[in-house]
Structure 1
Amino acid sequence: MNSGGDSLAAAWAIQRRVIGALLMREILTRYGRHNIGFLWLFAEPMMFTLGVAALWTAAGAHRMSNLPIVAFALTGYSLVLLWRSMPTRCISAIEPNLSLLYHRNVKIADVFFARLILEAGGTTISFVILTLVFWLGGWIKPPEDVLQVACGWFMMGWFGIGLGLTMGVLSWKSEIIEKIWHPAAYLLFPLSGAAFLVDSLPPIGQDVVLLLPMVHATEFLREGFFGSVIRAHYDLTYMAAWNAGLSVTGLLLLRSIASQVRPE
């Protein structure tokens, strides 16, 4: 007798099918069936990272540091896209999908998680492909510690998920969240560690930027990528506390509006 386990397995199977269907819907809605279609999911972050690396190289930034500028841009701006894209896609995600809630198996959480998976998956695949292409092309060396790079990427992805859930629910409660998020994201962009190493800042500057959890994941990942070439500053316990707090807050907020959202 294992009716509880069977019920859980059946519920999980339904949940997977629902999220899978929502993923396909998101891909088709956002990218369509024509031209390269869903490949834009990977092409967009690739083009952004390549463009930044090209601009830095053209500006001669590679002569100001002993770090390879392509690898520096890849590790920095890919992480920015990871934490910034998930909240952006979750904000105002409920209204366009209200009609889907007529299906009893579709919940608000499914809408959010489909978008989070799509953004995280696209950015991750882009980062992996670019790393392989640059490595095989001889522009960068392979990461010194692949597991540390993967752990840093996971920590930033977890941060993006927690932030995405929290901002997504708050944006349904108040329209001002969407208006605040976009300028806030642009302000946080240069402070997130994408374009600098914490060790290059004066002590007071280090203390300030290390208040931002994104900086810790960036420093940790770059240490795994470049190894002993850099001196990284990070506290993964601090970032894990932020991630857990955002995740719990997002889930609690999601639960609080579950009975308030009505399909249209």
Structure 2
Amino acid sequence: MREILTRYGRHNVGFLWVFFEPMMFTLGITVLWTASKATHGDHVPITAFAVTGYSSVLLWRNAVGRCALAIVPNQSLLYHRNVRVIDLFLSRVLLEIAGASMSFFFLSILFITTGLMKPPADISLIVAAWIYLALLGTGLGFAVGALSERSETVERVWHTIAYLLFPLSGAVFMVEWLPPTFQKVVLYIPMVHGVEMLRAGYFGPMVKAHYSVPYMIVSDLLLLVVGLALVRDAGQRVEPE
């Protein structure tokens, strides 16, 4: 609650900006793509393609971005016995995950109701992909947030990496559309598997998705273990005795 009030304040719509922000961004991109009559593949609906793609990007990118340099402005809170470094990261990650999730849910309901999108083919696949991407963003957020305590350069480097990952994350393409050689390369990027599974759950047999569940599980566990280890190290550095 403190994080919500600090970021959004008590005025206007207040905490509703938690999902209004990502929703407006995704909605704006979807409108632009639709207005420009952009096409992706032979038969993939542009609205559903944009919503699934950009919502997934906001989920992991915002979670990591908000963890960068999160310790210094909140360091005074660490003098409270029950507040730890990991709490600073968790509050920001959960806020971003909640915002992206509500945005994706409401936009999907809106577009399905208005006929711009069809109902999803397999909701269980969509939920599994969303959980995977959320855990991926959490592990990355912990790692980047803890490393940024050592040097502000990490935060600047992450912004560059995030921009490079955006076109490579699967948001603007499907693996099936790429040449076979490049397919093997992009499938090393963990986000691609999540987006492919998400679209497999939404479009069903309309698309041929490429993803590996074992690879996704290992990616999440590895990032979470590394992230938690770095957070523990950061806590030993900055938490009062």
- Do these two structures clear the TM 0.5 threshold for a shared fold by scoring above it? yes
- Following superposition, the deviation at residue 201 of structure 1 comes to 0.4
- Are residues 71 and 168 of structure 1, via their aligned partners in 2, closer, same or farther at CA, if it must alter by over 3 Å? same
> Against the structure 1 CA distance between its residues 150 and 104, is the aligned structure 2 distance closer, same or farther, given a 3 Å change threshold?
same
Counterparts of 2:22 and 2:40, CA distance in 1: 25
User: Hey, what's the Cα distance between the residues in 2 that align with 1:234 and 1:201?
Assistant: 14
Correspondences of 1:1-264 after superposition (within 5 Å): 24-62=1-39, 65-262=42-239
- How far residue 93 of structure 1 moved from its aligned partner, in angstroms, is 0.3
Structure 1: how far apart are the matches of 2:40 and 2:164?
A: 27
Q: CA deviation at 1:52?
A: 1.0
Query: Structure 1, unaligned stretches of length 5 or more?
Result: 1-23
Q: 1:174: how far off?
A: 1.7
1:239 & 1:88 partners in 2: Cα distance?
21
TM-score between both structures, scaled by the size of structure 2: 0.97
Q: CA RMSD in A?
A: 1.2
Distance in 1, Cα, partners of 2:21 & 2:115? 23
Secondary structure of the equivalent of 1:61? coil
TM-score by structure 1 length? Answer: 0.88
Report Cα offsets for 1:83-131 as digits up to 9, x if no partner.
Answer: 1001100000000111111110111111111111111011101111111
Moved over 6 A (4+): none
Larger Rg: 1
Q: What amino acid does structure 2 have at the position aligned with 1:60? A: K
The offset of 1:262, in angstroms, is: 4.1
Q: C-alpha displacement at 1:143, in angstroms?
A: 0.5
Unaligned runs of 5+ in 2: none
Q: Indicate the percent of aligned positions where both proteins have the same amino acid.
A: 53
Q: Aligned pair in 2 of structure 1 residues 63, 158: CA closer, same or farther (>3 Å)?
A: closer
Q: Are the equivalent residues in 1 in contact too, given 2:70–2:88 (CA < 8 A)? A: yes
When residues 249 and 64 of structure 1 are mapped into structure 2, their CA distance, relative to the original with a 3 A threshold, is closer
Shift of 1:62: 4.1
Q: Which whole-Å CA distance do the structure 1 matches of 2:42 and 2:232 have between them?
A: 48
Tell me by how many angstroms 1:65 deviates.
3.3
CA offset at residue 149 of structure 1?
0.5
